[in-house]
């Protein structure tokens, strides 16, 4: 019988990795406290969390929302992005990075990622700028910071707004400063898979008081700062976080820094072990001393150098060995049916919007590094990285085992 678990052999591990989400008496007490106080609505806990999270991420202001998606929408609205504007986004990301742009009636322009970081490639960004470009949304993918210096230079040269999509990057720093308010604004998600969570939730960070006030108003029914509750100044929505969510997040924030350290230590063990296996390529390594959230641990799988075993088969075999790896995004975001929609008449803004005056045809977009990443990446989720050093060694052992038995895995 083969030694491979996929062929009936004993798996490398049967023990589960740490469960997610994590909670303890802190969340239990905090939830009961809010419940019993009967103060359930957008109050002290929300304010406390906004201040503490903003300060943790080196930002002056924090404005909570219902999700990372609504945080992006509010930030774009506050930045004045609207009909006829182009916004540069990467194609290797969750749908919201681009769909939020459509929601405010603007046009997402997909620009390729750098092969070694999976983040927006500044050279490609430069080439994509037109007279309609108004903003850039760099994603700090998997928690690796985007090239904020280069993107900042481009933004200054062309008078563009930078909104960081930091929905993978709680605790990540860039050259000694945490991400989120390095650009004009930054948004974070607290959805249940995220490294800190209240099931759903989001926040916008900024150092700019005027933008902070606009975000507050747009996320709270267009109300004015220190104005009566029935006075509405802007076309806002109700994107308010509850006191229950903020109470949970205050507990999650207390654990975050230690968890960031743990994940970084795990990533180092994985880098050391996986980096030595033929057919596995690591992404760009962190300069020493940098903090990175590791929402995902990603590596590149090159079938031709792994005995010709397809990535799907590799992942299936890895799963059978007890390692919860996945292929991640199956194709770049622009190939989603959402972006193929057309011909819905002149009323269909933004893609057929008369303000735009141009045609955007996403079927013609091809970002080769993003395409390649979708074919080659393997992801491990953040909770796996909360395991012990031995747990990480199991992952390395499992990949090594597949490499040694690659001949048995060929389709
Ligand atoms: C990169 C990125 N941006 C935005 C979002 C949207 O966050 P939410 O799910 O809280 O709306 C996500 C969530 O998965 C994300 O991964």
Q: Is the CB of 187 under 6 A from ligand 1?
A: no
Contact 314, 303 (CB under 8 A): yes
Give yes or no: 223 in active site: yes
- Atom 16 of ligand 1: nearest residue by CA position: 94
Quote the ligand 1 centre to 197 CA distance (angstroms): 12
**Catalytic-role residue among 49, 61, 92, 94:** 94
Give yes or no: 165 in active site: yes
The pLDDT value recorded for residue 243 is 98
Write out the two tokens for 111. Answer: 């620009």
Quote the ligand 1 centre to 70 CA distance (angstroms): 9
Residues whose CB falls within 8 Å of the CB of residue 288, separated by 6 or more in sequence, listed in order: none
Write out the two tokens for 361. Answer: 């045809």
**72 CA: nearest ligand 1 atom:** 4
State the DSSP string of 299-315: EEE-GGGTTT--HHHHH
The pLDDT value recorded for residue 288 is 67
Contact 392, 315 (CB under 8 A): no
Residues of the chain below pLDDT 70:
1, 287-289, 341-348, 411
Q: Is the CB of 138 under 6 A from ligand 1?
A: no
**70 CA: nearest ligand 1 atom:** 11
Give the orientation angle of helix 243-274 with respect to helix 44-56, to 10 degrees: 30
Quote the ligand 1 centre to 402 CA distance (angstroms): 33
96-139 per-position pLDDT tens digit: 999 999 999 999 999 999 999 999 999 999 999 999 999 999 99
């Amino acid at each position: 019988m083969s030694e491979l678990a996929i062929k009936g052999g004993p798996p490398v591990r049967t023990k589960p990795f740490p469960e997610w989400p994590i909670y303890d008496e802190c969340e239990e007490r905090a939830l009961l406290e809010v419940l019993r106080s009967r103060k359930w609505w957008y109050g002290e806990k929300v304010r406390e969390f906004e201040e503490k999270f903003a300060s943790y991420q080196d930002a002056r202001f924090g404005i909570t929302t219902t999700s990372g998606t609504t945080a992006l929408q509010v930030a774009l609205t506050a930045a004045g992005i609207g009909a006829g504007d182009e916004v540069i986004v990467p194609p290797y990301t969750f749908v919201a990075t681009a769909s939020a742009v459509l929601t405010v009636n603007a046009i997402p322009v997909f620009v390729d990622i750098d092969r070694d970081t999976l983040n927006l490639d500044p050279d490609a960004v430069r080439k994509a700028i037109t007279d309609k470009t108004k903003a850039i949304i760099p994603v700090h993918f998997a928690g690796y910071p985007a090239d904020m210096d280069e993107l900042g230079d481009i933004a200054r040269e062309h008078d563009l707004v930078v909104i960081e999509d930091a929905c993978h990057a709680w605790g990540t720093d860039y050259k000694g400063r945490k991400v989120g308010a390095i650009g004009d604004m930054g948004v974070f998600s607290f959805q249940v898979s995220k490294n800190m969570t209240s099931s759903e939730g989001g926040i916008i960070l900024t150092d700019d008081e005027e933008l902070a006030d606009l975000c507050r108003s747009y996320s709270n029914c267009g109300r004015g700062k220190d104005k009566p509750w029935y006075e509405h100044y802007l076309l806002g929505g109700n994107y308010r976080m509850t006191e229950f969510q903020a109470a949970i997040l205050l507990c999650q924030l207390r654990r975050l820094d230690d968890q960031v350290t743990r994940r970084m230590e795990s990533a180092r063990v994985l880098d050391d072990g996986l980096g030595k296996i033929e057919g596995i390529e690591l992404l760009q390594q962190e300069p020493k001393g940098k903090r990175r959230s590791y929402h995902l641990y990603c590596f590149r799988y090159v079938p031709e150098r792994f005995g010709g075993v397809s990535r799907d088969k590799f992942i299936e075999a890895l799963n059978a060995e007890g390692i919860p790896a996945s292929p991640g995004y199956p194709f770049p975001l622009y190939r989603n049916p959402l972006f193929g929609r057309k011909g819905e008449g002149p009323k269909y803004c933004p893609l057929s919007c008369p303000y735009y005056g141009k045609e955007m045809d996403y079927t013609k977009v091809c970002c080769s590094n993003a395409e390649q990443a979708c074919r080659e990446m393997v992801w491990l989720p953040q909770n796996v990285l909360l395991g012990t050093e031995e747990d990480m060694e199991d992952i390395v052992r499992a990949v090594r085992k597949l490499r040694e038995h690659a001949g048995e895995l060929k389709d």
